[in-house]
Chains A and B, each alone.
Chain A
Amino acid sequence: MPTGVDLQEFVSGFLLEAEEHLHAVNRNLVAATEALARGRPEPRAVRELFRSLHTIKGLASMVGAEPIAELSHEMEGILRAADRAGGQVSERALDLLLQGTRALEERIHAISQRGIAAIPAAPRSLIDALALEQSAHARPGGGGAIELELPDELARNLAAADREQLAQAVESGRRAVVVEFQPSPERAARGLNIAAVRSRLAAIGELVKVVPRASTSAPTGIAFGLVLVTDADDAVLAEAVDSTPAAILPIRATRARAARAPEVIATDAEREPTSGPGAEPGAEPGIDPVPMDHSIRVDVRRLDDALERLSELVVTRFKLARIAGELGARGVDVRELTQTLAEHARQLKRLRAAITEARMIPLADLLQRLPLVVRGLTRDTHKSVDVSIHTGTAEVDKAVADRIFPAILHLVRNAVDHAIEPREERRRTGKPETGSLRIDCDDSSGTSLLLTVRDDGRGIDREAVARKLGEPVARSDDELLQQITRPGLSTREDVTRSSGRGMGMDIVRRVVEMLGGAMSLQTAAGQGTTFRLRVPVSVTIVDVFSFAAGDQVFVAPVAMVDEILEIEPSRLVEAPAPQRDGPVARLVQRRGTSIPLLTLTGVLGSAVIGSVPPKALVVQQDRGAIAFGVDRMLGQQEVVVRPLDDALVRVPGVTGATDLGDGRPTLVLDLLTLGATVLQAKAGGA
């Protein structure tokens, strides 16, 4: 039977889910690292790490991303061992997991950029190290056996990690309980299902385990026991499961350990005696809305699509305004129409803001993995670095986030590698042994973010920079910034592990400038360095073709181009009435009809070049297609479009300017408007 199923169609879905899981992996690695520092295992983080990696592995194997499946498989092995040990992870294991996560991220990124075939192989040495660590970790046992007083069917379903979590909680004075939920068709119809109950309880406590069991009193004969650590009282818990406090059973836990006498921690003294057995579960209608996580995942391209649709609306609005203007000129009373149009314009503006807002992600999410990165960088060095991140509730457009994160990462790497001194050196110079790296964000302007990356290290060595460049020593921080962002400069001869790769300061500056932002530097010998990056909160990203016409490079949005036409000289027809100065030099045959072939240099006002262009971009207009001659197609890429603010350089048909990475402005052409202008001029002149 022909299947007609291509699992490659699911690659983008895989990427979305994998990214979400990697996000969770980073978060849980932070939790596990903190737990290690506190000396208490974090079994829940270990479990979630395992699950995320397992899901990534399964999906990767389905879409043919073998290196990702292999890496996550080996990482999973370490976590399985850790889970059996009650959530204990060694420092070495955490380091390997961290490296593994970076390797996964690189490969996910490679797929999203260049497709599944472009994925690099899994790094052998890391795979071997992960495998070795699994066998090293194969020792069972956590912190002593834990006795839990539970109904049998619950007790046998709890794993070592669950027991550890319960024991830790009751030892620190919290309550451990089992809450029973009985599903029923009537409750399901109200949206009260196990998933909803689960998220309600997770909001008021730590969910340890959920166990299904047969129950004669339950409407369907089945009930769920939700094992939970919580500070909430019985009434609140009962309400969450649409029942009475009779549905709640406290758990006692004792840890049998030689050093400590067994003690009973939780008691059921606080149990409410008021619950009548006659209370029928599910009797009270009208429950509160289910507290759930209200976020959904959306492919950012869908939001881009929505923005695109919106621009079409804006065009229609301009047409309406023009018609209203014409009516007004003919003496029709259009006051009400004009008012409605103005209201419409405001609504469009608000709609635009709403869609733009949906693209925003919290900066805190973006930067959350920096402490892990720093931990990785300081491993095997004689340095300690304390990272603190203060972003508040600042948010940034996904497009800006994707571009600015590598720049921040580079500044952080530089600070750790070069600026912050080893412990011994810091002690000698009277500084605290642990260096400080602080990232702040100020979003008070509303339209831009001011990101500050500040270290208390040795400061930038002006003399060294000058020597390296063979230039005079910078007299100001601004001059120094110009020098260190010169392409290819590295102030260190011995390239350290992390500075040898990645991007240089020139790229940091390029990224900031591409976004239309600015950066500044402040540095003092022996005291530290501060970089300030000002970037817009959001930008317009457009997928464009870049091409050369005449001796200039232009870009035009891919969405506007109907076709890229190869021009065969035999298909060319000289225009019936050649205009000496006009841009329409010729017609070109396309699918049986002749369409005007314009030269861009002509359209934009320079002299028409006589030679025949080898290619043309065809755009489809209301009044037919138009071809724009192109000497060379250079490529396709996403660019940040900056509007041309200066009214003097504003030209119809030019949307804005962009930077293709060479530091020079390139014009972004609106070929539709350009074509319309030309044809109108022609019609007017004829």
Chain B
Amino acid sequence: MAEILVVDDSKVMREMLIACLRGQDDLAFAQASSGLEAIEQLSLRPFDLVLLDLNMPDIGGIEVVEFIRSQDRLRSVPIIIVTTRGDETSRERALSAGATRYLTKPFTPEVIQSEVAAALGHAAPRS
């Protein structure tokens, strides 16, 4: 069982993401509606994968990635950015900050499914 933290300030968007992935075997989901909540949840217990929006209140997704990558304990968790920002600058900033993959909205269910499967396959198994 892999546990995914879905981070987006839009409830509908979180629901869409989870709906796209729900059919997959052995996935469990937790949600966070801001980058701060995401960091808090990650500090309290481990996750296998983070799906992360970029534009959120208080701190944006790139700051969240930078922070996660600066923490020894969290450094290896895969992070897939799921964002409406399609520009190259945002993509480069996110990837150089340490995001694993960068997806833009709108996405199709197939794309998100294969990205998640790939990210979980590459991730080190959780102890």
List chain A positions with a Cβ less than 8 A from chain B. Answer: 1, 3-5, 7, 9-10, 13-14, 16-17, 50-51, 54-55, 57-59, 61-62, 64, 157, 183-185, 188, 193-195, 198, 207, 209-212, 214, 220-222, 224
Contacts and interface: CB of A to CB of B under 8 A. Distances in A.
A220 B71 CA distance: 11
Given A3-B20, A4-B23, A212-B36, A222 B11 contact: no
Contacts, number: 109
Which 3 A-B residue pairings sit nearest by Cβ, starting from the closest?
Answer: A58-B84, A13-B12, A220-B43
Nearest to A220: B43
A194 B67 CA distance: 16
B43 to A, nearest CB: 4
Interface in B19-47: 19-20, 23, 33-34, 36-37, 39-40, 43-44
B15 interface: yes
B36 A5 contact: no
A3 B23 contact: yes
B84 A54 contact: yes
Contact-size category for B: 35 or more
B106 interface: yes
A195 B15 contact: no
5 contacts: A7-B109, A58-B84, A188-B40, A211-B59, A214-B70
A462 B40 CA distance: 68
B109 A3 contact: yes
Most buried by A among B15, B36, B44: B36
Given A17-B10, A194-B36, A210-B36, A7 B16 contact: yes
Contacts of B53: 58
B12 A157 contact: no
Nearest to B21: A5
Given A188-B40, A194-B39, A207-B58, 13 more contacts: A10-B15, A13-B12, A57-B84, A58-B83, A183-B43, A194-B40, A198-B58, A210-B36, A210-B59, A211-B59, A212-B59, A222-B39, A222-B71
Nearest to A72: B84
Contacts of B67: 212
Given A3-B20, A54-B84, A195-B33, A183 B55 contact: no
A207 B36 CA distance: 14
B91 to A, nearest CB: 16
Nearest to A57: B84
B113 interface: yes
B126 interface: no
B88 interface: no
A69 to B, nearest CB: 8
A157 B63 contact: yes
A59 B55 contact: no
Contacts of B55: 50-51, 54-55, 58
B29 to A, nearest CB: 15
Contacts of B10: 17, 55, 58-59
A221 B37 contact: no
Given A51-B55, A210-B59, A212-B59, A195 B12 contact: no
A207 B105 CA distance: 29
A211 B37 CA distance: 12
Given A195-B34, A210-B58, A62 B105 contact: yes
Contacts of A222: 39-40, 43, 71
Nearest to B71: A214
A198 B11 contact: no
Given A3-B109, A198-B58, A14 B36 contact: no
B31 to A, nearest CB: 12
A17 B12 contact: yes
Contact of A59 (B12, B33, B71, B113): B12
Most buried by A among B10, B73, B83, B109: B10
Contacts of B59: 157, 209-212
Contact of B39 (A5, A50, A207, A212): A212
A58 B17 CA distance: 13
Contacts of B37: 193-195
Most buried by B among A5, A58, A221: A58
A185 B44 contact: yes
A211 B39 CA distance: 10
Contact of A193 (B9, B40, B58, B113): B40
A61 B70 contact: no
B54 to A, nearest CB: 9
B70 to A, nearest CB: 7
B12 A10 contact: yes
Contact of A195 (B36, B44, B64): B36
Interface in B95-116: 105-107, 109-110, 113
Contacts of B15: 10, 13
Contacts of A4: 23
A62 B13 contact: yes
A61 B106 contact: yes
B73 A5 contact: no
A214 B113 CA distance: 33
Contacts of A184: 44
A3 B33 CA distance: 25
A59 B15 CA distance: 11
Nearest to B16: A10
B9 A55 contact: yes
A9 B15 CA distance: 11
